[in-house]
Amino acid sequence: MSDEKNLSDDLNDMLDDAKDGAKKAADKAEDIADDAKEKAKEFASEAKETAKEFSDGAKEAFGKASGDNKKLLAGILGIIFGGLGVHKFILGYNKEGGILLGVWLLGAILSCVGIGILIVWIPGIIGLIEGIIYLTKSDEEFYNTYQVGKKPWF
């Protein structure tokens, strides 16, 4: 009987140790979770602040998009998306932008036949050339030629 009592006491001690270990682990997990929540809040706060700074900077940059700022924007868009006529729409040349976009779409549709691949390249090359021309002109010359003088092509 004493062996059974010793075995029972040993099992109870082990059970108590296991309960203590589980409680310590739960407490530690709760502490880690609290730390993670705090760090997540700090990260979210920093992300919001960074996004607000970026948004304010973008609003300021696009708010000034007249004259020389349109030159840079139209030039880069002409080089990258010239075939779609985006640079023309930025400068207010809706008819010319529509022509470039229409030719590009026609070429995209006809690319199934093969000839469309050549047609798609035409507005792309026009946009590339115009983008380079826009970026190589001085700010004053660009403003006078394309925004005041309204020269639609090249």
Annotated domain spans of the chain: 1-63, 66-148
Confidence of residue 57 (pLDDT cuts 50, 70, 90): low
**pTM of this structure:** 0.53
Nearest Cα residue to 99 out of 84, 109, 112, 87: 84
Q: What is the pLDDT of residue 117?
A: 79
One-letter amino acid for residue 80 of the chain: I
Cβ contact 49:95 at 8 Å: no
Q: Please give the torsion angle defined by the CA atoms of residues 3, 7, 9 and 11, in that order, rounded to the nearest 10 degrees.
A: 180
What are 77-131's pLDDT values in tens digits? 899 988 888 888 888 888 988 888 888 888 888 888 878 778 888 888 988 999 9
Q: Which of 105, 101, 65 is nearest to 82 (CA)?
A: 101
* Band of pLDDT at residue 28, cut at 50, 70 and 90: confident
Instruction: Reply yes or no on whether the pLDDT at 70 is more than 80.
Output: yes
